[in-house]
Amino acid sequence: MEIPYIVNARKDTGLFNSKIAIWLFLASEVMLFGGFFSAYVFLRLGADYPWPERTLPVLPGLINTFVLIGSSVTVVFAWAALKLRNWRQFQIYMSITVLCALLFMVLKGVEYNVKLHHQAVRLSDYSVVEGHLGYEKKGDDYVLDHNGKKIEENMIRLQLEEGGTTTFSVLRFHADWVEEILMEADSAKAELKLLADIKGDESNSDAGKVYFAAGTPLSIDLLKEIKKVHLIARAHNAELRTNALRQEWVVAKAENPGKKDWEISDQVSIDTTALSPRLLTEMSTATFATSKSFELIFKPRDVKEGAEQSRLRDDTTIKGKLLASPMVFHNVDAIDFQHLVMKADEKGIDPETAIQNSWLMQNNPFVREAWAWHEEGVAALTKRLTEEYGLDEKGEPNREPTHKELYRIGWKDLAKFGEERHQISLSATDSLKEEFMGPNYEARGEETFPHLSVPREEIGFASKFAPAWNTYYAIYFTMTGLHGLHVIGGALVLAYYLFFGRKMYLENPEWLANRVEVGGLFWHFVDLVWIFVFPILYLM
């Protein structure tokens, strides 16, 4: 069957059909992206933290803008080449378009990668530290997890004393963690044994029956065995209870003819004491005690830690001491008091006092030095702005340093601080690389980007620069991610025309030209969205 109106226009619309289709699709896209832009405005106006202004690297964003604009031109040239029946030229322009899309995605990938490996932590006093964490080492070797990956120096350490107990949920226990606990115990030559007999309850039909004897050593198989017995008991009991309840309803209905169910529902209840001699004992947890003291480490997201008792995500309760579990930055690359000042303002505290009293200023000599240096810079900036832009009629300066300039020491500031103090200078290539990859720790060294160990109790919230960090990064990843998916989708379609279009070109060149026009329309739209995304997310 021939597809109608792919080359010739329909009389009523004056257009070939696929053009109507793509415009309908683009109309829906306008509303989709419009929704995200309005979400951005909403989040920004409602943010209860200092919105990160101009926080993304401008140079990669700028290059990406050029790349997309350039590809918009080449795609329209590719279409023109088809219209003029010049296959060779079409190939050239379309190849450039697809390469531009690739370049865009590579730059975007680098940007994402840098963000997703960059750590941020908000301390409990709302000062913010940014940088990179170190990795756990034993001697000179890195400690690897079971995937063979290095473990960040951001672990919760627990000490299980002799006789200390670990209680597993037999339904929810995560076998990998049980294995880890067993391994740690093994390396300390400790044994985990069942604390007490798991036996039938006195009131139940299995009264006194010992299912699992105290002293049985912990193993995943044992937990699975307990789980099996537990599930059998549950199924058995559930059936008994359901039958009993059903019986109750039959009786209640017979006694109250003509009444609605909800009117008699409070008369219906199971007599549990009568039922219990027929029930089996359910054993949802199993508790093990250790013969010797040993240490356990867990990722912060896997454990809710407490001084005496911690709970893993699989509901395992560990009764052990919380050891010092600092988060160790090997390179701090920004110190930010904006949020702290915002909170101080809300409480009517003088910002300078709040900063001086912050944990960082109280405990870290580097931060004190950097802050003193920063304040000199702010004073100089304030002076220069007043001199250059003068005062208004009320005697207030026309221009003042921004909140960010006042209270944030970003990586470029720290780099400058290091350059001034230690006469560090970078080669032009290294400096350019920094614009894409962020601060260069190797070249600038620890005197510029120092170590910092943050005690666990000082941590308010920690995250990579991922959607979880704040609503800015959430909307940034959502919008650029969605846009990136459009780039990939568009590039795939255009590449299809490039690599598989020859046959159609020979049979029906006008059809291919129309297809490319439609693909091009989508591509221009992707460019159009970026024209708004770039200034809004990168420059505002």
Partner 1 sequence: MAHSSELTTAQEIQKSKKVYLAVFGALLVGTVVTVLVATVEALDVGKHGFDKWDAVLGLFIATVKASLVAYIFMHLNHEKKAVYWIFFSALLLCASMFGILFLAKYSPIFDKFFY
- According to the binding rule CB under 8 A, does residue 399 interact with partner 1? yes
Our CB check for partner 1 shows the closer of 114 and 528 to be 528
- According to the binding rule CB under 8 A, does residue 527 interact with partner 1? yes
∠ CA(268), CA(272), CA(276), 5° rounding? Answer: 150
- According to the binding rule CB under 8 A, does residue 532 interact with partner 1? yes
| Distance in Å, CB of 412 to partner 1, minimum | 13
CA distance 266 to 102: 68
Burial (CB count within 10 angstroms: exposed 0-12, middle 13-18, buried 19+), residue 297 = middle
> Which residues within the stretch 378-397 sit at the binding site for partner 1 (CB under 8 A)?
385, 389
Assigned token pair, 174: 């995560």
**According to CB under 8 A, which one of 72, 281, 331, 364 is a site residue for partner 1?**
72
- According to the binding rule CB under 8 A, does residue 377 interact with partner 1? no
**According to CB under 8 A, which one of 4, 47, 48, 66 is a site residue for partner 1?**
66
CA distance 114 to 430: 16
Our CB check for partner 1 shows the closer of 153 and 434 to be 434
| Per-residue three-class SS string for 286-297 | EEEEECCCEEEE
Instruction: Tell me which residue of 273, 268, 276, 274 sits closest to 248, measured CA to CA.
Output: 268
Which residue stretch of 50-58, 304-312, 327-335, 444-452 sits at the interface with partner 1 (rule: CB under 8 A)? Answer: 50-58
Cα 45 to chain centroid distance, Å, stands at: 22
Number of residues forming the site for partner 1 (CB under 8 A) = 61
- According to the binding rule CB under 8 A, does residue 106 interact with partner 1? no
Give per-residue burial for 516-530: e unless 16+ CB within 10 Å, then b. Answer: bbbbbbbbbbbbbbb
- According to the binding rule CB under 8 A, does residue 48 interact with partner 1? no
- According to the binding rule CB under 8 A, does residue 410 interact with partner 1? no
- According to the binding rule CB under 8 A, does residue 43 interact with partner 1? no
**According to CB under 8 A, which one of 24, 235, 238, 379 is a site residue for partner 1?**
24
- According to the binding rule CB under 8 A, does residue 508 interact with partner 1? no
- According to the binding rule CB under 8 A, does residue 76 interact with partner 1? yes
Our CB check for partner 1 shows the closer of 34 and 455 to be 34
- According to the binding rule CB under 8 A, does residue 14 interact with partner 1? yes
- According to the binding rule CB under 8 A, does residue 30 interact with partner 1? yes
Amino acid (1-letter code) at residue 345: D
**According to CB under 8 A, which one of 112, 115, 524, 537 is a site residue for partner 1?**
524
Q: Confirm if 335 and 409 have CB atoms less than 8 A apart.
A: yes
| Per-residue three-class SS string for 115-173 | HHCCEEEEECCCCEEEEEECECEECCEECECCCCCECECCCEEEEECCCCEEEEECCCC
SS3 of residue 336 by DSSP = strand
Residues near partner 1 (CB under 8 A) = 7-9, 13-16, 19-20, 23-24, 26-28, 30-31, 34-35, 37-38, 41-42, 45, 53-54, 58, 62, 65-66, 69-70, 72-73, 76-77, 80, 83-84, 385, 389, 399-402, 404-405, 510, 517, 520-521, 524-525, 527-528, 531-532, 534-536, 539-540
